[in-house]
Amino acid sequence: MSAPIGTGTRPARPRTRSRPRALRAGPVGRQARILALQVLFAADVKGVSDAELLEWLCAEEPAGPSVRRTAADMVDKVTEQLDRLDGTIQRLAPAIPVNLLAAVDRNILRVAIYELVNRDTVPRQVVVNEAVELAFMFGSASSARFVNGVLATLLVELSAAANSPTPSATHPAADDLN
């Protein structure tokens, strides 16, 4: 179907979900997030060792040394802080128990919350945008909106905690995440 000639308008194209990009496409940070998400998702669903999964995934789709190193570090840190991260997710999205969230959404949130709280070198908006993009690529139709909402709530708390003279007394984000 085409627009009438001379109207200057195009017919609306239906929005389609993009296919997941190859691991080797994009900057190191994005590649590492995708790899970390895949490892954490598989470990969460299958209960397999993170190290085994990382090696297997890198054998399937080769990743450079810096991507592997960054992803492995992310996976280790997220795994170490799993209870804390899940507690934060539960507090930010209390309507659904964390264990009942879609596994991909749960692990995207774990990685993003870890990065927002622990990696000052990455701008917060980049972390949120990447998490939403991952949710759009790998999650359900509502995943991106859900992930964005949870992370937006966290950003408000983190901003308020940074501006407060006594963050731990007035903002739960300070105790949960630091």
**Which residue's entry shows tokens 């998490």?**
131
48: which 2 tokens?
A: 């397999």
Q: How far is CA 23 from CA 47, 71, 144, 160, 164, in A?
A: 23, 12, 20, 36, 40
pLDDT at 96: 92
pLDDT at 65: 75
Supply φ then ψ for residue 37, to 5 degrees. Answer: -60, -45
In order along its 178 residues, the chain shows pLDDT tens digits of 444 454 445 444 444 444 444 444 458 788 889 988 988 988 888 776 666 666 666 555 666 778 888 888 898 899 899 999 999 999 999 999 999 999 999 999 999 999 999 988 889 999 999 999 999 999 999 999 999 999 999 999 998 888 877 655 444 554 555 5
For Cα atoms 76, 48, 136, give the angle at the middle one, nearest 5 degrees.
70
| Residue spans per domain, the chain | 26-80, 81-178
Strand, helix or coil for residue 61: coil
pLDDT at 66: 81
CATH superfamily of 81-178: NusB-like (1.10.940.10)
pLDDT at 176: 55
